[in-house]
Amino acid sequence: MFRTSSNRRPAGTVHSQPSGQRRRIGVVAAGLGAALTCAALTVVNPAPAAASWPGGNVGITGHGFGHGRGMGQYGAFGYATLYGWTYSQILSHYYGGTTLATRSLGTLSVDLTAFDGVNQVVVTSGSPFTAGGVAIPAGGAALLRYVSTNSYQLATSPGCGKPWSAVKPVTSGAISSTVPASSLSAMLTICSGGGTRTYRGSLSLTYGGGATRLVNLVAMDDYLRGVVPRESPASWGDASGGKGMAALQSQAVAARSYAAAQNRYSWAKTCDTQNCQVYGGAGLNGVLTEDSRTNTAVTSTAGKVLTNSSGSIVSAEFSSSTGGWTAGGAFPAVQDLGDVASPNHNWNTSIPASTIGNAFGVGTLQAISTTRNGLGADGGRVLTATIKGSTRTVTVTGNDFRSTFGLMSDWFVVAKPLTTPTIFVTNSLSAPSTALARAFGIKGDQPFACDFNGDGTDTAGVYRASIATFYYRDSFAADAPLHAVKLGAPGDRPVCGDWDGNGTDTVGVYRGSNSMFYLLNTNNRVASSPLTQVLLGGAGAVPVAGDWNGDKAATPGVYDPKTATFYLVNALAPGSPRLRYQFGLAGNVPVAGDWDGNGSDTYGVYQGTRFAVVNTLGGPVVSYTSYGLAGDRPLAGDWNHDGKDTVGVGRDY
């Protein structure tokens, strides 16, 4: 890390512009892995291993939320905001074999399930309407009761909760507004003891499937106004400078296609719950529940549906979070890199072993084994789970196991330790104690740390080499936005530093196969972003980076763990002299930082559970700091904005 003394500011001081104090480094040991999530940054304590069976708890880890078929809603949001995809790209990815087409769609019939089996309804409106063929004035109310086929009873009143007129027979269960619904007050509002619910279109009290039903007849896009904000947060439309609108547009097209393909009942095409897709009408208790952002998503995709090879509209299923791979089924299973945006990309829970044994009647639980679909982390989704007990063995589907215990998805692993990849940091080299513990990423990620926004404080990120993508946050706050930068190739290692001396750290990779650094001067990667290339190192070299000469610009270096030797350069130009320093022991892992706050970086090594650092290049050890556990990944950074770098570790990566 580096900074100049003239630019150093006291801890806690807030500046609106970067101060110019910046740095470098991301040192990472080897390790590739499964699909990535950037979990919410919450304080984590080491999780205990699941207790042995019989007795105790069974630890369960998993991925995703929902059935995983078709589009993942959080994945669509991730592809929109992190990758900049359009809604057509998102839909093409999730719904393979379909075509985006335009169709003219008429009225949709929706069963309002709260009224299933209820033989009457009370309706009012701020504009004139009819009930059972009888005209009701604006502000009036109608009570319509089903008696038998083509036989109803109607009572009227000046408004909901006011005295009713005498009941008279009518022959229709239809309730319709007589003026265009230009505002919430002009629509039909259902009055009940729990409040009011307002709907566009018309209503029909009918009988079907052995019970009375209340059906909303509504134009398709008016229906979608009441669906999209309940299936995807309208606030997504504002994310990443409006890029999140593509996720809402994807939701609108998927929901339109799904609704158009339904034929659920003889009395209605679809329903209003998650068994179909969630629909809440236009208003609740006199307040509009539609949103301008989701309305825009609907209107900007008007008539757009997904069709198959025969031209039929497909039932475009979707769920909250795929966990990193869709489940397949009607549409081909695909990897879902966008699901990194999901808070349920990874999850964990535990269930008493006795509960599992009792649920399946196997006596004392002894073992659980699974078969899987082979797609994604941990072998993918569970196809079958075999529960062995003291009295018998039972095999169920993965979805049955999930449903029995209310798990988020059928992509789960049982009887595994509940470990979570976690960053631990200390603010002192002389008296180390954990100042912060934050969960970030999953096993197989490569943790690193830098100051990505130039505010004088380092934060953590992870690099997943198999998809050549950096993920980081600008702070350790739980709600800090997640950023993604694609760079590199499978097998690369991450570095970061202020390569151009502008006060902000940017990313780079080191490719061991050709001993080459590839460095970016921006974290907003576009195709035209120039790459600086530096040849340095050899087989087995581990990258480091730092401001070795105090000129405010970071340059790379490598550490040869076989000979315990650092090779550093002070400039990015070809042919720059190599500085050579032998330090540490064979097998050590390098770090770099400004340990004394003098404005230039020096190196150090991590020796299993101990850091050894120097304050001058080629100088003696000035600090031995014991921190971490065997197998941890070393990190360095200025975590508390005091002008000096200290150390940290990444655990369970």
Per-domain residue ranges of the chain: 5-11+19-42+420-651, 57-68+343-414, 107-245+259-304
Sign of the CA dihedral running 362, 365, 366, 370: positive
Three-point CA angle 5, 8, 14, nearest 5°: 165
Lowest mean pLDDT among 168-182, 282-296, 520-534, 545-559: 520-534
- Mean pLDDT on 264-282: 95
Cis peptide before 46 (omega within 30 of 0): no
In this prediction, residue 260 has a pLDDT band, given cuts at 50, 70 and 90, of very high
* Closest among 277, 316, 264 to 100, alpha carbons compared: 316
d(CA 626, CA 12): 28
Lowest mean pLDDT among 197-206, 309-318, 362-371: 362-371
Digit-coded pLDDT (tens) for 79-106? 999 999 999 999 999 999 999 999 999 9
In the predicted structure, residue 24 carries a pLDDT above the cut 70: no
Task: Tell me the average pLDDT of the chain.
Answer: 88
The CA distances from residue 315 to 11, 108, 270, 301, 642, in Å, are: 56, 15, 12, 17, 57
pLDDT at 34: 28
d(CA 567, CA 546): 12
* Closest among 479, 438, 449, 442 to 464, alpha carbons compared: 442
- Mean pLDDT on 321-326: 96
In the predicted structure, residue 285 carries a pLDDT above the cut 90: yes
pLDDT at 538: 87
Digit-coded pLDDT (tens) for 418-464? 457 889 999 999 888 888 888 888 788 999 999 999 999 999 899 99
pLDDT at 439: 85
pLDDT at 50: 30
The CA distances from residue 258 to 225, 280, 307, in Å, are: 15, 17, 11
More confident residue, 46 or 444: 444
pLDDT at 418: 46
More confident residue, 535 or 31: 535
pLDDT at 13: 24
Digit-coded pLDDT (tens) for 575-630? 888 899 999 999 999 999 999 999 999 999 999 889 999 999 999 999 899 998 88
DSSP codes joined into one string, 59-84: EEEE--BS---SEEHHHHHHHHHHS-
Lowest mean pLDDT among 518-527, 543-552, 641-650: 518-527
Lowest mean pLDDT among 20-24, 486-490, 567-571: 20-24
User: Which two structure tokens, joined as six digits, stand for 649?
Assistant: 């570790």
The CA distances from residue 336 to 37, 79, 281, 577, in Å, are: 11, 9, 31, 45
Digit-coded pLDDT (tens) for 220-240? 999 999 999 999 999 999 999
In the predicted structure, residue 192 carries a pLDDT above the cut 90: no
What are the phi and psi torsion angles at 57 (to 5°)? -110, 155
- Which value, in Å, is the radius of gyration of the alpha carbons in the chain? 31
Digit-coded pLDDT (tens) for 102-147? 999 999 999 999 999 999 999 999 999 999 999 999 999 999 999 9
d(CA 410, CA 63): 8
What are the phi and psi torsion angles at 295 (to 5°)? -60, -40
The CA distances from residue 334 to 84, 257, 314, 399, 645, in Å, are: 19, 20, 18, 20, 42
In the predicted structure, residue 9 carries a pLDDT above the cut 50: no
In this prediction, residue 360 has a pLDDT band, given cuts at 50, 70 and 90, of very high
pLDDT at 282: 96
- CATH class name, domain 5-11+19-42+420-651: mainly beta
User: Which two structure tokens, joined as six digits, stand for 436?
Assistant: 């912060």
DSSP codes joined into one string, 314-336: P---EESB-TTB---SSS---B-
User: Which two structure tokens, joined as six digits, stand for 488?
Assistant: 């590199």
Percentage of the chain exceeding pLDDT 90: 74
Digit-coded pLDDT (tens) for 364-414? 888 899 999 999 988 999 999 999 888 899 999 999 999 999 999 999 998
In this prediction, residue 527 has a pLDDT band, given cuts at 50, 70 and 90, of low
More confident residue, 57 or 525: 57
